[in-house]
Amino acid sequence: MSQVIDLCANSLRNLTLKTKLLNIKPTIAASETKYAALGIKASLYLHPTCKDINGQVSADEMKDLYQNTFVKSNKTRHLYDSIKKSSPNDICPFCGQRTVSTVDHYLPKSIYADLTITPLNLLPSCADCNFSKRAVTALAPQDQTLHPYFDDADSDQWLFAKLEETTPAALTFFVRCPAHWDQIKQSRTESHFKTFKLAQLYASNSANELNNMRFHLQKLFAADVSGQLIKLHLEDMAETYAANYKNSWQGASYEALSASNWFHTGGFN
Ligand SMILES: [Zn+2]
C-alpha cells in the first residue's frame, strides 16, 4: 500500500497535495489492514466510512487522485491495468458473463475516501455491473454482494434455471444455495444476484441460446422422435459447462432443459 501511495505522490505536481498525501500514508495503510481483516470475516459492511482523511485530504481530492493520477500516470497505470486484467479471460467476476471494461470500488470512493486507491478494494468489472452497484451500500451483513477476492461462492452450484413450458420455451433463473452454507452467505448470494440483475441478463441470453439450438434439436428429433437423443445431448452440454464453471447460465439452462420430457419431445419448437 505504501508503495502505491509513493508512486501516486511522485506523480503529483501539486506539492501541497503531495505533502498531505505522504502525511496520511499511515492512515491509508491502517485502513487497508482493517479492510483485509474485515474482508476475511465477510464483514466489510462494518468498515467505517471516511469523508476525509485526517482532516487533510477530502474524498473529492482522493477521487481526483484516483482518476487523474492512479489511472493515468505512467508511474501507476500498470497497477490499474493489472487489476483490470486480473480476471480470467477478462470475464467480469460479478456477472460471470460480460467483458471487463473498468475497475469498480467495492466500497465506494465517495464515502470511503481512505480506500480510493487501495488495491484490495479495486475489482475488475464490466460497465453494467459497475453501474448496477453504484447506488448500493450494504448496511447489514446479508446485504453485501460477493467479493471476488474474499468470497468463494463457485465451489458449489447456486444458480439454477426453471423451464417455462411456453411457446417458445423460456427459462427463468433463481438462486438455491447449498444447505451447508451459512445463512449470511446464502443471503449475500441472493443480494448479489439481485444487485447485478442477473435474472434479467441470463433470461435474455438463454432466450437467444434457445433460438440458436432449435435447428440442431430438430435434426436430432428427426433422427429419434422419442427425444432420447436430445436428452443425451442436453445432458452432455450441461456436464460440459458445469465442468468448467458451476454457476454459468448455460450450465443451469442445459440442466433444466435436459430434465424436461416436454422439451425433448417437441417443446423446443
Ligand atoms: Zn458484470
Cα 223 to ligand 1 centroid, rounded to whole Å: 40
pLDDT of residue 135: 65
CA distance 53 to 28: 8
Neighbour count for residue 179 (Cβ, 10 Å): 6
Sites in the chain below the pLDDT cut of 70: 135
Cα 190 to ligand 1 centroid, rounded to whole Å: 16
Q: Which helix (H) or strand (E) holds 122?
A: strand 122-125
Neighbour count for residue 73 (Cβ, 10 Å): 18
Enumerate residues with CB within 5 Å of ligand 1 (an ion).
92, 94-95, 98, 126, 129
Cα 130 to ligand 1 centroid, rounded to whole Å: 7
Contact 189, 173 (CB under 8 A): no
pTM: 0.93
